[in-house]
A and B are shown apart, each in its own frame.
Chain A
Amino acid sequence: MSEQLLDLDPIGAGDTETLEVSMGPHHPSTHGVFRMDVRLEGEKVVRLKPVFGYLHRNHEKIAEHGAYLAAIPYTDRLDYLCSMTNNWGYCLAVEKLAGIPVPERAEYIRVIVAELTRFQNHAGLIGFLLQDMGASGTPLMYAFREREKILDLFESLSGARMMCNYMRFGGVRVDCTPAWLDEVRALVAVLPRFIDEFEALLRGNEILMARTQGVGVLPRDLAVSAGVTGPMLRASGVNYDIRKVDRYGIYDRFEFRVPLGDHGDVYDRYMMRLLEMRESLKILEQALRDIPAGPIMDPKTRLRGLRPKAGEAYGRIEAPKGELGFFLISDGSTNPYRYRVRPPSMINLTILEDMCLGHNVADVVIILGSVDIVLGEVDR
């Protein structure tokens, strides 16, 4: 690959100022196996080409070879920090394709686990971002301390911390107990203190502001055209949250705000995550208050040997990283004819070069950190 890239526009023979640096694939700041071919003039970035595919296992082909049910555990491994929302995106697409209803209690449980997922993803992202900035250890460990509590809840609910494999089309796999709901309530009651603490530690920190404000600006029009979604899009001031636009599941029942940024720089993207964590807690409080008793799955829903009528469906949700969509084509058999993931991490990388041009090479690391990518999803 590298030869091909160099051939595109080689550095002139007499040019001794320009330097080609291959950042990654094994570099701590790339959050996995991801490479950037960066061309530098001094410290300034003049070209940047992302190179990925190192984790490619043709997830889509694997899913097309299995039954509809068999793809759910594989979706866990896309964005391996957010298996619950991945499950939901896929189940929503299958529910649209086959017209499967979801009972109310299952919808509430989905919202609860999805918002917990969003919380732990954003906390982790901020921790990693500060780690990339040189705040070695402390913020990341603070974030992971809280994340661990949420993963413990996932474990007691689904049996696994990260690879939850919890949702099914038509509902969820197992019901939650009243004791589990009380544990979530207790955790949600103390989490605001964690955000306060985190904010007190970082807000107004001069180094943080100097490193993030005005860095990696993503203009609004470019963000829309490039299909950027999630907190990154909203940091550029575009009010587009699929929980509000599509109102999938039962999101129309909750009161929450969609935080928006002004500048679209790294600082706004970082603040967006902090504010969204607070909104997630609001949704959690309402969901935990209103969750009804009842079934978690319609007994008539067929999980094994589901054969949807020939046709297609696109289902999408607001995953922590952006719009996660699944596009399915059925030919009437037990396997999807076409199974396609819309990976928010990968599409949000489209404008990485645009955001990095003209910045110092050290800023590339935090600009990439603010995009929030997981290579399991980028490469599939």
Chain B
Amino acid sequence: MTALPTPEDIKAQIEAGIPGAAVTVITNGSPSAQHSLLLDNQHARDAAVFLRDHPDLRLDFCSLVTGVDWPDTETTEKIKVRKTVDGVETDVEEARKTKIPGYLEAVYHLFSMEKKHGPVILRVRTANRTDQTHVPSLTPVWRSAEFQEREAFDLYGIVFDGHPDLRRILMWEGFADFPMRKDYVPPADDRLAEVHA
């Protein structure tokens, strides 16, 4: 087993190898210390090929592909505003809400069967959760992503551009919703008949 370079080293190598690629290291606070690399969608497939074919890394085995849903979040800040109330100027506390848009994320766990090291974790993100849910498919790079990307499409609604056969895999054709999303509401019992129709 050869030692794996740190995520910062891999980031530097990707950015040096692929002009224009932007890689962010996402640190993981758990004792597992499995940090990941966030790729920009435009260069994700080039970066994947680079990692697969790199002579020292040889990440030939894409073990796990999964979707993660990060819904829109809202933070509330209390700020003091100077206002005139009944002719007297006073400090009034006002709540200001900031909406942080959510996104869908596809996570890839890579290992090397040749060098017997890993994992290197890649992430790609969609622009939002509603109308821009596209990420590049990595199935052309690793065949093992084929069914798993289909599953992420099926259960999360992530559209993988360039996937050869992107259809629902576990749910049935004609099913409209994405059941693994955090805001999914299962149909009421009396509506099951129409959902199954």
Contact = CB atoms under 8 A, between A and B. Distances in A.
A314 B34 contact: yes
Nearest to B31: A99
Interface string A324-347: 010101100000001010100011
A303 B121 CA distance: 28
B30 A224 contact: no
Contacts of B179: 58, 61
Contact of A314 (B31, B116, B119, B145): B119
A340 B180 CA distance: 11
The residue in A4, A227, A245, A313 that gathers the most chain B C-beta atoms within 10 A of its C-beta is: A227
A224 B61 contact: yes
A226 interface: yes
Interface string A278-322: 000000000000000000000000000000111111101000000
A227 B142 contact: yes
Given A52-B169, A327-B66, A351-B143, A227 B31 contact: no
Contacts of B31: 96-99, 309, 311, 313
Nearest to A93: B32
Contacts of B119: 314
A313 B147 contact: no
Interface stretch (B84-92, B94-102, B170-178, B187-195): B170-178
Nearest to A1: B173
Nearest to A310: B29
B144 A350 contact: yes
B62 interface: yes
Given A1-B173, A53-B172, A225 B180 contact: no
Contacts of B18: none
A245 B119 CA distance: 12
A323 B64 CA distance: 10
A222 interface: yes
Given A224-B61, A314-B109, A338 B68 contact: yes
A334 B32 CA distance: 18
B116 A245 contact: yes
10 contacts: A97-B31, A227-B142, A228-B144, A229-B63, A240-B116, A309-B29, A312-B30, A312-B32, A325-B63, A340-B64
